[in-house]
Every structure is written in C-alpha cells, then in structure tokens.
Structure 1
Amino acid sequence: MRFGGWFSLPVLSVILLALVSCGKEEASQAKKEKRISESIAVLGALPESVVDPPDNPTSAKKVELGRYLFYDPVLSGNRDVACATCHQPDFNYAEFLETSIGVNGTGHDSKRQFRTPNTIPFVKRNSQSVLNTAFNGIQNHVDYDPVRAPMFWDLRAKSLEEQALIPIQSLEEMRGEAYSEETILTEIITRIRKIPEYQALFSAAFTGETNPIQAKNLAKAIAAYERTLVANNSRFDQYMRGDSNALSVSEKDGLNLFLRTGCAKCHQGPMLSDFKLHTLGVPDTQNRKESDAGINNNYAFRTPTLRNLRYTAPYMHSGKFVTLDQVLLFYEDVAGGKVENPHVTAHQIDPLARKMDVNFRDISSIIEFINTLNDDSFDKTVPTRVPSGLKVKGNMD
C-alpha cells in the first residue's frame, strides 16, 4: 500500500528510525570529536624562547652572577643554606622531600635532617620546581608578561624578581633566628659588598651603576639565571608543534582520556596549569603542627604544572602523595564525594574537581600521557665553587 504517494507506513517507520539512529550516532561522534578538539586547543607547546621583563634584560654576566648567588649560602642568615639546597638540578630544581628542611639542616635528599638542638620548623609547603618558572602564568593567544607571573603555592608574589627575595626573608627557609625579617636583606647585602669577587661580578652585570650591590639587583640576577632553566622540548611539545609521530598511539589515548576526564579544566595552557587557586581537600603534611589553610584560609592552592613530574615527587602542596597513581586516585575519591582533609567540608571542594570523571581503569593511560611532558635536556650545571668560599649548595654533608 502506498502512503501519501511514497512508501507504506511500516517501511517509512524503518527508514525514519534508521535516519534518526544514524543522526544520533553522527551527532554523538561529532560532539565527542568537537569536545576533544576544543580541549586540545586549551593545551599548548611551550615557547622556544623566554620573555624578559623590560627592566631586567638578560645578559651572560647577569646569568653568571645569578648562578653563583643561587648556589651560595652567603644569602642565608646562618650561612648554611642556599636556594639550591631545596631546588636541586637532580630533582628538576625541586627536591625529594615532603616538605623541606632549610635553616639548621644537614644532609641531602631523603637523609636530610635537622641538627640538634633545633627550634626551626620544617618549611611550610612542598618545594616547587624552579624549572620553567620563566613561563609561569602563560596562556594561549595572550602576550606573556613576566612582570605579572604568579609565584608560590598561594600566588603571593608576582615575577621571579619579587619571588627571589622572599625565601631569604623566611624564618624556616633561609633567614633563621639570628636576624629579623626586616634586617636580613641589609645583612646579606653588607656581606656581599665585602667580597671582592662579588664586587666585580655585580659591576660587570649592572654596568653604569655606581653602587650595583643592592637587593633589587640581587633579585634581578637570580631571576635572570632562573629564566635560563627551561625544559621546553618534551615529546608533547613536539606533538603540539605538528609532529604527529612524537606520541605513540597509547600516549594519544592517554591524552584523550586526560581531556575527557576533566583534567584540562585546570591543567591547561602550555604549562598545563591555569595558575588559579582551587580547594581540593588535600591532606596536611605531618611535618607541621598547624593545619595549612592557605593564603585565604579556605585551603585553596595553586594548580601545579604537570611538566617534568618524573623528577619532582612527592606531589601536591603538602607533598603527601608519593606517586602519580596516588594523585589520580585522590581525584577519583574527590569526584566520588570523599574529603581527605578533616578541616575542609564537602561544599568547599571546587566544583571542577567534583565533576571530574577519573576511573581506576584509566589511570595508567593518563600517566602514560603525562610522562610525555618530561624533558631532561635542561641545564644542570653546578658551580664548583662560590665567591663567598662557603660550601656550594650549603650544608648538605
């Protein structure tokens, strides 16, 4: 029987059902592909060059001076700890400790401990890597401004220049108890001015200045050196620059899972970080008596970069997770409603974390992708001596 001059009703129903089914499948596939494509677009390769602040252009002499200062314990109150004590080349310019031991410490790596007697606390948070901090805050399709680069787990400083002086003034990191926060920089500058080699190095780095040994120039030199510590040619970078063979099929699967589970909602851009504060309920370190509520007292901490994680364990601001598996299992628990920090309530947890879709079966694939972000080609040069004559990297024997 014909219907309206076309087909019978049963035949028409079959055709319509097939068309609708096909349309749904195509729409679903298109939506899936669009989601992945748009998500990939929020990631990116690191630039192949670094942008300097207008008032601190790099130079070989400035970098040379900054390297010496980075490794010289003359910058600490007790002359026993340097920047490099907690930011070591072998650990991606971080270190393998839950939270660091700065002033009054001895030994290195897992054997580092406090001298006795001791009244100095552990450093409050896990030592973040200095590597690639020249790109902190970078976003896709936005001109990079190194003057506004966010620093620290709580974003309390902008730029490497501002960041450089803060550990020197911190009690447990480099200052110690012999000097106050207000007097320590004056003491450090006084010391450096008495060292002939530093007099020559500062004069060469800051030509034309009549009195170049100043705190602002100390910060500029350290920042200039830190901007040379980059690892911007990982296989992921090569892939994002157009080399489709830089990642294996399984690593690409891991990338797609990384995007679909919601990881890229916060881990985005070339540094795979939105550089924003998020409350996740990460457990506190047991190295400190007090709970760390963060700068806003809401337990929010900055999204860390995912680059070179092979070398920077343990993870999170408290250093509580030793492996990436533990980190991803934590996110699975958060999405399931579990809160691991007793000081944080469920309604405080960031909605982006609650909406993640991390499953145990996907973890190994996601980690396989994350490992494509590793790049071991960064500068690991350690000076054999420092101008002060003190131990390079401080007291780590």
Structure 2
Amino acid sequence: MLCRFLVPFLLVAGPGLTDLPLAVDDGQFTAVALPEAELGQLLFYDPILSGNRAISCATCHHPRFGTSDGLSLGMGEGGIGLGPNRRPDPANPPEQRIPRNAPALFNLGAQDFTVLFHDGRIEVDPTRPGGLRTPLAADMTLGFSGILSAQTMFPVLSQDEMAGHVQENEIARAARQGLITGPGGAWDLIAQRVAAIPAYQARFEAVYPEIAAGRPIAFTDISNAIAGFMGFEWRSDDSPFDAVLRGEAALEGAAADGQALFYGAGGCSTCHSGPFQTDHDFHAMGVPQIGPGKAARFESHSRDEGRLRVTGLAEDAFKFRTPSLRNVRLTGPYGHSGAYADLTEFVTAHADPRRASEAYDRSQAVLVGPSFASDWRILDDPAEIAQIVAATSPDRIDLSPTEIAALVAFLDSLTGATALTGRLGVPETVPSGLPVDQ
C-alpha cells in the first residue's frame, strides 16, 4: 500500500495541511546491548540456521537491496547467488518461488511495530502466555524477547525459505512432522548446531548469564540475538524528512510539494500515519497477484487472500498490512507480491487501484530463474482478477505526472543516510565457516 486517496486531490505547495508526526527518538526503540547485537549479526549472516546450510537470513534481507532481495518473489532453498543474480541450483532446483515479497526490516525494533508479516499472522497479544498470537497457538514456546524475535521462527520452518525439503535434512523432516518445540524439534536441532560451534558457545555465554551458568542454548536465544541485531542495525531515523520533524530543516521544491500532498489533500497519511508512515492496519489495494499465492497443502490455487487467511473473515479478503515507507526508494519491488519494480509505477497504480490488475504491465515483475506455472495463473484468470477488484477499497483519482513526481520526491526524502550500510555492516566471516553473502 502506498497512498489511499480519500478526498479530491489538489496540488499545493508549502507545508503539509495536517500536523506532521512527532520526531523519532530513543524512547521509541527497545535498547540493545552492543555484544548482543554483534552476536546477532553473525547469526543473521550465517547459513548454519538453514536446513541445508545454504541460506542465511541475509540471503533474502540483504543491505545491498534495502534489507530485502531486489526480487518480486524470492528464490529460497534451491537457489544460488544473491538478489537479481540469484539462479536455480542445477543439482537441487527450487519447487516454487517464495509466495510473498521479502519485506524490509527498517525500524522493526521500534515499539510501534506490534504486528508483522504481510498478513499480520504474528501480533502482540498480552492475553497469550507468551504475549504473542501466532499460527503455533498453544504450541508457541516461551522465551522470545518480543515480536521481532518471534518472527524469526517462520523462515527456518519453511521448506521453500530456509528449511529445505523433507528428504534433504533433519530440520526439514522435523518441521514436516510437526516437531517444532521440545527435544528433537526443528528449533532444538538448530540450537544444537549452533551450540556445537565453540565460538558461538563462548559468545552466548558472554551475552546471556543463564547460558554462562550452564543452561543450554535455546532457539529463543538465537532469535533474541538476531532481533537485537536487526533492531540495532536498521534503526533508520537520519533521513531529510527526519531533519524536518526535528525542526532542523525544511524540504524544498518537488519534495516539499509532495510532503504537502502526502499529509494534506492526497490523504496518504490516512493509512501511512505516524513516525514510520504506517497505521499497522490492513487494506485491500488491488495489487496484482503473481506467483504461487498462499494455499494449504490440500489446495491447488495460486490465490493470496491476505488477512482473510489469518482471521477467517470475508471482509478481510485481499487485505495486506500497510508497510512502513521508510527507505521505500531502496526496498522495491513493491506490494505483497512485489508486482512493481518501479516506485513511480506503483504510485500511479495506487491512484487507480481498481484498474491495477487489469492494466498491469508484467515487465514490472522481477522474477529470476525458469518460469513456473503459477507465475501468471491469477492474472490469466478474469474471474480471479474480478475478485481482487471487487475487494479493493479506494476509489480512482486523477494524478498528473507532475503530481506523481512530487509524491515520489517526498518519498525519496524518507531515505536514511545509513540505510544501505547499517551500523555493523556485513561480517567477512562467521563462526560456522560457511560462506557469507557479501
């Protein structure tokens, strides 16, 4: 989602017509100790966490690609290489693309973020024993430091992302059998791998007193360290727009016009609200569906109904979480399916969301490797497109090229100075000795 235009559009110059959000400050972020962030950095870039020891978290969330992978839909297990240069492994090709675009990781350590993933399948819920609502329900283990830590549990269990396939390794077999928590579960097997590496054992003992006192390393310790790293590394509040919010500068020219539109007549801030430009809610924006979609094992469609698959509510069909727009220039392709490689094209499509699927230019998709039968299945089916269009909520609004350019110029002002480098950067080596994606 980018802009939800709810009122007639007027191009105006000068400051926004509504109040801007408050500036970001330290109090909005969970504090992270540097040794924990440094441990998490190594784990984030280490393929040891994947079933076949071939993929790290960074493979799909690399700083070179704005903490994403530069692809509409990624290629996880069975792929070789990084970003748009990734290709199938001839000896072990992937069975399908990853169903959704790899989301960016900026500012996820902020306390504002209480729901994650495109469909919001993990949420902060104080009524649950672990404080979180997840698809694991009653099987959810305790010990995650928060939602950012808990989100790491999904990729390592996914056969297409990091686990691999059932015949390939013990982690994939455990995950397929539903053995997740407890001795011999997938998370326990991952923890055993990490604990068997002396350099990791020593670092965990230095960071967590309970481990120094003799408690074995648990998967939650691994995920907590990774969360600490992500929160520390990709805090991003050093953009030109942040200088505006702190009263240190003002945008000029097209960027200033775009700011006025975004926070005024354009209505963009209705959904892209707050300091990180997201209401953390779910909206149906008509983004074209490409790729395999989200289907249960007994289903054969390529549909992705978004939030509906979490809530079961018909009114949630084809709704997806409002993404933060921080560093949006760096994080394409855009949309839950990564349908748009170009930011201007994405803004243009949002101006006429009901027509987006019908008028979609398929060359906007960044798909590597061979064609899969599911790539265009939804877009080739008029009945499927009609369902997406019927669920789409915003109305069409006319935008001139100048008006679109102004909005894009403002979005460019959300790019942080350290967004592509982070604070710790990419390590040269990791304790497992496995290759690091540079």
Q: TM-score, normalised by structure 1?
A: 0.80
Q: Is the 8 A contact 1:72 1:392 kept in 2?
A: yes
Match in the other structure for 2:346: 327
Structure 2: give runs of 5+ residues left out of the alignment. Answer: 1-11, 124-146, 180-184, 294-300, 310-316, 360-378, 380-384
Match in the other structure for 1:302: 321
Kindly name which structure, 1 or 2, has the bigger radius of gyration based on alpha carbons: 1
Q: Is the 8 A contact 1:276 1:302 kept in 2?
A: yes
For residues 274-285 of structure 1, the aligned pairs below 5 Å read 274-285=279-290
Match in the other structure for 1:385: 429
1:238 to 212, 223, 243: 243
Q: Is the 8 A contact 2:74 2:98 kept in 1?
A: yes
| Cα distance per residue 1:162-205 (max 9 Å; x no partner) | 11221111111111113232332122111112111111011111
Match in the other structure for 1:155: 120
Normalized per residue, which structure has more helix? 1
| Cα distance per residue 1:23-59 (max 9 Å; x no partner) | xxxxxxxxx99x9543x34x3432245532xxxx632
> Does 1:313 find its partner at 2:332?
yes
For residues 215-364 of structure 1, the aligned pairs below 5 Å read 215-228=219-232, 229-243=234-248, 245-258=249-262, 259-286=264-291, 290-297=302-309, 298-334=317-353, 342-350=385-393, 353-354=394-395, 358-364=399-405
How big is the shift at 1:133? 1.3
d(CA) in 1 for partners of 2:111 and 2:29?
A: 11
290-299 vs 82-91, greater mean Cα deviation:
290-299
d(CA) in 1 for partners of 2:78 and 2:355?
A: 42
What amino acid does structure 2 have at the position aligned with 1:175? A
For residues 45-194 of structure 1, the aligned pairs below 5 Å read 45-48=23-26, 51-52=29-30, 58-116=32-90, 117-135=92-110, 137=112, 149-158=114-123, 159-177=147-165, 178=169, 179=172, 180-181=174-175, 182=179, 183-194=185-196
372-381 vs 66-75, greater mean Cα deviation:
372-381
How big is the shift at 1:72? 0.4
d(CA) in 2 for partners of 1:307 and 1:344?
A: 31
Matched length: 343
RMSD: 2.5
Q: 1:315 to 1:59 in 2, by over 3 A?
A: same
d(CA) in 1 for partners of 2:357 and 2:231?
A: 39
What amino acid does structure 1 have at the position aligned with 2:155? P
| Cα distance per residue 1:311-345 (max 9 Å; x no partner) | 11111111111111111111122277986660525
How big is the shift at 1:369? 0.9
How big is the shift at 1:232? 0.4
What amino acid does structure 2 have at the position aligned with 1:153? H
Q: 1:325 to 1:119 in 2, by over 3 A?
A: closer
d(CA) in 2 for partners of 1:50 and 1:392?
A: 32
How big is the shift at 1:359? 4.3
Structure 1: give runs of 5+ residues left out of the alignment. Answer: 1-31, 139-148
d(CA) in 2 for partners of 1:207 and 1:345?
A: 51
| Cα distance per residue 1:355-374 (max 9 Å; x no partner) | 76644441001111111111
Q: Is the 8 A contact 1:251 1:368 kept in 2?
A: yes
193-202 vs 336-345, greater mean Cα deviation:
336-345
Q: TM-score, normalised by structure 2?
A: 0.73
Q: Is the 8 A contact 1:99 1:287 kept in 2?
A: no
Q: 1:338 to 1:107 in 2, by over 3 A?
A: closer
